[in-house]
Amino acid sequence: MKLLGNKVAFVSGASRGIGSGIVLGLAKQGASIAFTYRSSSAEAEAIEKELQSYGVKAKAFQLDAANYEQTEKIIQQVIADFGSLDIIVNNAGITKDNLLMRMTEEAWDEVMQTNLKSVFNVVKASQRQLLKQRSGSIINISSVVGDSGNAGQANYAASKAGMNGFTKSVAKELGSRGIRCNAIAPGFIETEMTQGLSKEQKEMWLANIPLKRGGTPEDIANLVVFIASDMSSYITGQVINVCGGMQT
C-alpha cells in the first residue's frame, strides 16, 4: 500500500536538485503533485512527464516564489485543479554568498525574499484551505546553517533561521486544527547549489561529515515522505537535520 495515495502535494522549486528528488519520492508513494519552478521550463516539463509515469496527476507552474500575488493565484489554481491541498513543501531557495564586508543590499534582499518571504507567501495563501480541511503537513526546507551560522552566508543563514522560527510559530498556531508544520535542515547535499563550491570548500565540508559522503536529494526526499505521511502524525514544530551527522 502506498503511503500517500489520495494526497495532493504542492512543492516549490522542483525543476532540479533537492526539489526534483522530493517530487519523485512523493509521486512514488502515490501523491498527486503540483510543483513550481522559476526559469527551468524544459527541466520542469521533463519532470512533469516523469511524475505522470508513476500514474499520478502532476502539473508544473512557473512562479517567482518571492511574489505574493503570483503565489496566491497559483495556490488557488492548484486547489481548483487538484481538489485539495494536503502536503506543502517549501523548497525553493538560492544562495548569494559573500563576506558581510562585500555583501550588497541586493544580495541580502534577494535571498530573504526568495528563501523566507516565499514561505510566508505559500503558507498564508494556503491557510484557509488547510483550516477548512482540518489537516495538512507543511514542510519547510531549511539548512543546518540556520542553526550554526556560516561565514560568508549571513543572508542565507538568517533566512533559514527565520524559516525555523516561522515553522515553530505556525506549528503552535495551527496544531489545534490538525495542521502540522516542520522543517528539514539538510547539511551538504550534492546539487547545482553546491557544485559552485571550490575543491577546498568541499573537502572542508566532507572532513566534518561522520558518514564521509555528501547527501543526495533522495536522502532528503525520504524524510519528506515520512513527515508528509500520517506515520508522523505526532511530530510538529521540529527542525530535523539530515546531514550525515555533521551537526550534532
Return residues touching ligand NAP (CB under 6 A): 12-19, 36-40, 63-66, 91-94, 114, 141, 143, 186, 188-189, 191-194
| Set 37, 68, 156, 234: catalytic member | 156
| Closer to ligand NAP by Cβ: residue 1 or 207 | 207
Closer CB to ligand NAP, 55 or 196, in the complex: 196
Measured CA angle at 74 (ends 32, 176), to 5 deg: 70
CB 111 within 8 A of CB 150: no
Minimal distance in Å, beta carbon 89 to ligand NAP? 10
In angstroms, give the least distance from the CB of 132 to ligand NAP.
Answer: 26
Strand partners, 185: 241
- Closer of 194 and 222 to ligand NAP (Cβ): 194
Is 135 buried (19+), middle (13-18) or exposed (0-12) by CB count in 10 A?
middle
Q: How far is the CB of 134 from ligand NAP (least distance, A)?
A: 28
Instruction: Tell me the closest approach of the beta carbon of residue 217 to ligand NAP, in angstroms.
Output: 7
User: Which residues on adjacent β-strands are paired with residue 88?
Assistant: 10, 138
Cell numbers given for 11: 512543492
For residues 108 and 188, which CB has a smaller minimum distance to ligand NAP in the complex? 188
Whether residue 93 contacts residue 158, with contact meaning beta carbons closer than 8 Å, is answered with no
Task: Tell the smallest beta-carbon distance from residue 166 to ligand NAP (Å).
Answer: 14
Nearer to ligand NAP, 15 or 232 (CB): 15
Residues constituting the chain = 248
**Has 68 been annotated as catalytic?**
no
Grid look-up 559522503 returns 213
Give the span between the Cα atoms of 217 and 240, in whole angstroms: 15
What distance in Å separates the CA atoms of residue 214 and residue 204, rounded to the nearest whole number? 12
Going through the chain in order, the beta strands assigned E by DSSP cover 8-11, 32-37, 58-62, 87-90, 136-141, 179-186, 239-242
**Catalytic positions, please?**
156
